[in-house]
Structure 1
């Protein structure tokens, strides 16, 4: 039973390391794409579109006018 609690104590550290690894790999790919001006414009348009879509969906779901 003590090994169960030891494993449970390790979980937050594991979760944090997985999240950091996810963001590092994601940002590394994004920064590679930002080296050319055409990619910067495409990434800006894509991210703006995604943010506007999410904003509109949340606005409609909550009934905010």
Structure 2
């Protein structure tokens, strides 16, 4: 039974490691693309337009104004 508690105490550290590994692996190509100034501007415009579109859709769906 003591092995169970030892493993349970190790789980949060494992979970943080998995999340960090996922985000680093996912965003590493994005960071490589952002070394060029022109690409930074294009990426920013795309991200802002996606956020704006999602915001408007959620506003219309919920009726909050």
1:13: which partner in 2? Answer: 13
- How far apart, CA to CA, are the structure 1 residues paired with 2:57 and 2:6? 42
Distance 2:38 2:52 in 1: 21
For residues 54 and 8 of structure 1, the distance between their equivalents in structure 2, rounded to whole angstroms, comes to: 38
For structure 1, the residue ranges without an aligned partner over 5 or more in a row are: none
Displacement over 3 Å in runs of 4+: none
TM-score (norm: length of structure 2): 0.69
Residues paired across the two proteins, number:
65
* 1:7-46 map, 5 Å: 7-46=7-46
* CA–CA distance in structure 1, aligned partners of residues 13 and 60 of structure 2: 37
State the TM-score, normalizing by the size of structure 1: 0.69
Unpaired runs of at least 5, structure 2: none
